[in-house]
Amino acid sequence: MNQKFSNCVITGVSGATGSAIRSRLLENGATVIGSFRSTHDTQELLKIGSNDYQIGMNPKDPSSIKSAINIISQELHQIHVWINVVGGFEMGSAIEDYPAEVWERMWSLNYLTVLNSTQAIIPHFKLFQTGRLINFGSAAVADGMPYAGPYLVSKAAVQALTKATAAELKGDITCNAILPTIIDTPTNRNAMPDADYSEWVTPESIATQVISFISNISNGRLIRI
């Protein structure tokens, strides 16, 4: 991993994928700032270990993200990497049967959180003329998946946003996305108890791809794993 990209923010750090990325980054000598949903209005950067921090942030609220960036900048000066892991998965109904609230929930959780973070962190990257933005789409957008319409639509939007963002970036600022097949997490196993888990992608392999994106200057890539 390129050591000049040392301060890395992970949204959704408490999940299986976020935790694996956090562990890999710490192993590679990075400083990790994991965000968590806080019930308090006051935000502060909490040190929980060597080079390991947490901060309360609501990724659905643009002002909360901007406040978190300011707090992190005051303590660590610069954010080098922003990884949008936060998101959710839901399946079970046909397109015509999904109620409006499910479409809205998936859109808000999977797409608007990424849009809000992108709009907040890109100006910071441009200020320092360097940065790595990493998003998460889904391989199922291209493959298709029955009874998961709201999820697929929200992830398709993330992939389009990634390409649009990358097209506007110059120099040492990049935006890429990882498109996992089904991730082997407890949540997904509970949702699909009859699936063949051996064919699913592990959080650890995703962490390896994150390190790759940080270490090179590829831009606008959607990598399926």
pLDDT at 188: 79
- Rounded to two decimals, the pTM is 0.94
pLDDT reading at 93 higher than 80: yes
Total residue length of the chain: 225
pLDDT tens digit sequence for 8-25: 999 999 999 999 999 999
Q: Where are the domains of the chain?
A: 7-224
Enclosing H/E stretch for 104? helix 100-106
pLDDT at 98: 96
> What confidence tier does 212 reach under pLDDT thresholds 50, 70, 90?
very high
pLDDT at 3: 60
pLDDT reading at 43 higher than 70: yes
pLDDT at 196: 87
Range from 39-48, 67-76, 88-97, 166-175 carrying the lowest mean pLDDT: 39-48
Cα–Cα distance, 91 to 69 (Å, whole number): 33
End-to-end CA distance of the chain: give it in Å, rounded. Answer: 19
Mean pLDDT, residues 37-66:
89
Closest CA to 209 of 173, 174, 181, 178: 178
Closest CA to 154 of 102, 223, 191: 102
pLDDT reading at 191 higher than 90: no
Task: Give 7-224's CATH code, choosing from 3.30.420.40, 3.40.220.10, 3.40.50.720, 3.30.930.10.
Answer: 3.40.50.720
Mean pLDDT, residues 122-142:
97
pLDDT reading at 2 higher than 70: no
pLDDT reading at 194 higher than 90: no
In sign, the C-alpha dihedral spanning 12, 17, 19, 23 is negative
pLDDT at 39: 58
pLDDT reading at 111 higher than 90: yes
Mean pLDDT, residues 186-210:
89
3 state SS of 118:
helix
Q: In this structure, are residues 161 and 175 in contact, taking their beta carbons and an 8 Å threshold? A: no
Mean pLDDT, residues 72-81:
96
90 DSSP assignment:
-
